[in-house]
C-alpha cells in the first residue's frame, strides 16, 4: 500500500514515503472558527478523557484536482476545524487504477494537497480484481447492474496493512464515505475496527445520483454488455445506500430525490463551498502576460465534451469576429481529441490540457464560461467561479441543483440558446467590474463556509447521537 505523508494546509510538508426539504437556519454561533460546544466535545472526547482527539477516516476516489477533490478538501477542512484527526484513504473503483499504473505517483502528490493529517492509498490489484469479478458474478447471478459491478471492484481492494496498523492506536469515531461505490471498503474497515466495542457510524456523501450519471454516460453493464434500465440502477443504488447511517447531498435536486425514496434515513443538504485560502491564492497569483478572455475548466467527462461541441458549433460562430482569447483547461482535451477530432484540430490552440495549478489561469481570466447542455449533480466549477468573483456565463445546466431564485435575487442568471449565451459573453466583458461584484455577491448569498459547516455539524450529530433517530432531513440555508 501507499502511505502518504501528512500535508497540512499551512506550511505544506513536501516529504512523501511509500510502503506496502425542511429548511433550517444554521445554529447560532456555529462558524468555521467557532464550532459548537457539542461538536468540540465529540472530537476531543468527554471532559474527563485524556485521550487524543477523535479520528475520522475519510474515504474517496483517486480524483485529485477535480470538483470532487474540492468537496473532499472541504470535508477535511471541516473535520480539522472541529478538532478531529483526519485520515484520508484513496479507494478506486475503475480498473485503470491498478497498482502497476504509474498514475499513482501523480495521484499521491495530488491527494496530499487535500490537507488530511495522514493519507493512504489502496490501489486495485489484478488478482483480487479478477477474484472480485467472479464473486460478484455469482452473487448477482450475472444479473447485477453496472453500479453493483463498480461497488464490487472497489470492495476488492485490500485493507492497507499500514492503515490498519496506524488506526490501531487511534480513537476512530466516524467514517465519512464519498460515493456509494466506495462504501463496501468502508464497511469492511469498520468491521475490522469494531472489536473495540464502540459503534463507528458512517456518513455517506452521494455527490450525484449515480443512476443518472450511469444513464447519461451510457454505462455498459459488464454482465449484459448493454446499459441498464434506469429503474434497475436506482433500485441498486438505494439498496447500497441503506448501509450508511446518514446521507449528505450536494444539490437541492439530489436531496429531494433521495429524501423522497429513503425517508427513513437522515438526509442533510450541504451546498459546496470554496476554501477562502484558495480564493486568496488565486487573487495573489501572478497573471500570465497574455490575458485570457474566456476560460473553460473541464475534466474528462461526457457532459464537458457535449458542452465544448455545443459551444464551438453553435455559439462560437456568433463570437468569432471578436477574436477572443479562449482557453480550455483540464483533461477534457483528451476526450475532444478522441471524439471530436475536427473540432480539436480547428481549435487546437485553445486547449491547454491538464495543469498542476489553476490559480494563474483563473487570475488571468476576464470571464469564466460553462456552456453545459447536460450533466447532473452540482457543478463545482460554477461555484468556484462565483467564489472567485469572476464574471460568469453559464447555461441552466451549469446551475443544476442550485436554488435559482436566490441566485436571481443576487443578480446572477442562466443563459439559454446560442444567441443568448453569446450576447451574455459580450455584455459580461463590456462591464467586468459589475459582473465580478454580482458573482461574488451571489456566492456569499447562496454558498458559504459557515452554512456548509453548520450542515456538516448536523450530519455528525445525526450519525453520532446514541439513541435511535427518527426519520428526519436537514436543509440548511445561508440566510
All domains in the chain, ordered by first residue: 2-273+450-476 (3.40.50.2000), 276-446 (3.40.50.2000)
Residue linked to cell 463498480: 150
**pTM of the predicted structure, to 2 decimals:** 0.78
Q: What pLDDT was estimated at residue 12?
A: 29
Q: Which pLDDT tens digit goes with each residue over 185-224?
A: 999 999 998 766 678 999 999 999 999 988 888 889 888 8
Q: What is the rounded CA–CA span in Å between residue 260 and residue 279?
A: 36
Residue 21: pLDDT above 90? no
Give the pairing of strands 55-60 and 172-178. Answer: parallel
pLDDT at 169: 84
**Residues 225, 219: Cα–Cα separation, whole Å:** 9
Query: Residue range 2-24: average pLDDT?
Result: 37
| Residue 218 cell numbers, joined | 451510457
Q: What is the pLDDT of residues 434-443, one digit of tens each?
A: 999 999 999 9
Distance CA 474, CA 294 (A): 38
Selection from 208, 139, 161, 219 nearest residue 180 by Cα? 208
Q: Which residue has the higher pLDDT, 33 or 429?
A: 429
CB atoms within 10 A of CB 426: 14
Give the residue, 104 or 291, on which the prediction is more confident: 291
Residues listed for the chain: 479
pLDDT the model gives residue 44: 54
Binned at pLDDT 50, 70 and 90, residue 474 comes out as low
Q: Taking a C-beta distance cutoff of 8 angstroms, is the pair 57, 68 a contact?
A: no
**pLDDT above 70 for 472:** no
In angstroms, the CA 414 to CA 396 distance is 5
pLDDT, residue 9, reads 45
Mean predicted confidence (pLDDT) in 77-95: 93
**Residue matched to cell numbers 465529540:** 42
Using pLDDT thresholds of 50, 70 and 90, give the confidence band for residue 239. very high
Higher local confidence (pLDDT), 84 or 42: 84
Q: What is the pLDDT of residues 109-143, one digit of tens each?
A: 888 889 999 999 888 888 887 887 788 787 777 77
- Whether residue 173 is predicted with pLDDT greater than 50 in this model: the reply is yes
Residue 3's SS3 state is strand
Average pLDDT, the chain: 85
C-alpha cell at 467: 439513541
pLDDT at residue 19 greater than cutoff 70? no
Decide: 210 and 423 in contact? Cβ < 8 Å: no
DSSP 473: E
**Alpha-carbon distances of 83 from 74, 248, 332, 440, rounded to whole Å:** 14, 20, 38, 29
Amino acid at each position: 500500500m501507499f502511505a502518504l505523508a501528512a500535508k497540512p494546509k499551512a506550511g505544506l510538508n513536501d516529504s512523501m514515503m511509500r510502503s506496502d426539504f425542511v429548511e433550517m437556519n444554521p445554529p447560532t454561533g456555529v462558524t468555521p472558527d467557532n464550532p459548537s460546544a457539542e461538536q468540540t466535545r465529540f472530537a476531543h472526547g468527554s471532559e474527563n478523557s485524556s485521550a487524543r482527539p477523535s479520528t475520522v477516516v475519510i474515504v474517496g476516489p483517486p480524483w485529485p484536482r477535480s470538483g470532487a477533490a474540492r468537496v473532499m478538501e472541504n470535508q477535511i477542512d471541516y473535520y480539522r476545524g472541529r478538532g478531529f484527526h483526519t485520515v484520508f484513504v484513496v479507494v478506486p473503483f475503475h480498473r485503470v487504477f491498478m497498482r502497476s499504473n504509474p498514475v499513482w505517483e501523480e495521484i499521491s502528490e495530488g491527494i496530499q494537497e487535500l490537507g488530511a493529517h495522514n493519507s493512504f492509498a489502496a490501489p486495485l490489484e489484478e488478482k483480487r480484481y479478477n477474484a472480485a469479478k467472479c464473486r460478484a458474478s455469482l452473487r448477482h447471478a450475472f444479473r447485477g447492474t453496472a453500479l453493483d459491478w463498480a461497488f464490487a471492484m472497489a470492495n476488492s481492494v485490500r485493507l492497507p496493512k499500514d492503515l490498519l496498523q496506524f488506526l490501531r492506536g487511534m480513537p476512530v469515531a466516524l467514517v465519512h464515505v464519498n460515493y456509494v461505490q466506495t462504501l463496501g471498503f468502508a464497511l469492511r474497515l469498520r468491521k475490522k475496527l469494531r472489536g473495540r466495542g464502540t459503534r463507528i457510524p458512517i456518513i455517506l456523501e452521494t455527490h450525484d445520483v449515480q443512476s443518472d450519471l450511469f444513464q447519461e454516460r451510457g454505462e455498459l453493464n459488464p454482465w449484459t454488455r448493454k446499459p441498464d434500465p434506469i429503474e434497475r440502477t436506482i433500485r441498486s443504488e438505494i439498496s447500497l445506500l441503506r448501509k450508511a447511517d446518514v446521507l449528505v447531498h450536494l444539490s437541492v435536486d439530489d436531496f429531494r430525490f433521495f429524501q423522497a425514496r429513503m425517508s427513513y434515513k437522515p438526509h442533510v443538504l450541504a451546498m459546496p463551498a470554496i476554501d477562502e485560502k484558495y480564493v486568496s491564492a488565486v487573487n495573489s497569483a501572478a497573471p500570465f502576460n497574455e490575458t485570457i478572455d474566456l476560460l473553460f475548466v473541464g475534466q474528462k467527462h461526457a457532459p464537458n465534451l457535449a458542452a465544448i461541441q455545443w459551444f464551438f458549433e453553435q455559439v462560437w460562430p456568433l463570437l468569432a469576429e471578436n477574436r477572443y482569447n479562449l482557453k480550455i483547461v483540464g483533461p477534457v482535451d483528451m476526450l475532444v481529441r478522441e471524439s471530436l477530432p475536427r473540432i480539436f484540430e480547428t481549435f487546437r490552440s485553445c486547449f491547454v490540457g491538464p495543469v498542476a495549478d489553476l490559480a494563474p489561469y483563473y487570475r488571468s481570466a476576464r470571464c469564466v464560461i460553462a456552456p453545459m447542455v447536460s450533466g447532473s449533480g452540482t457543478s463545482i466549477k460554477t461555484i468556484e467561479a462565483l467564489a472567485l468573483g469572476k464574471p460568469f456565463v453559464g447555461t441552466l445546466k451549469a446551475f443544476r441543483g442550485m436554488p435559482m431564485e436566490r441566485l436571481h435575487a443576487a443578480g446572477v442568471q442562466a443563459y439559454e440558446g446560442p444567441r443568448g449565451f453569446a450576447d451574455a459573453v459580450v455584455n459580461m466583458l463590456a462591464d467586468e467590474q459589475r459582473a465580478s461584484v454580482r458573482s461574488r455577491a451571489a456566492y456569499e448569498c447562496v454558498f458559504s463556509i459557515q452554512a456548509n459547516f453548520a450542515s456538516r455539524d448536523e450530519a455528525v450529530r445525526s450519525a453520532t447521537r446514541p439513541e435511535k433517530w427518527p426519520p428526519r432531513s436537514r436543509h440548511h440555508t445561508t440566510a
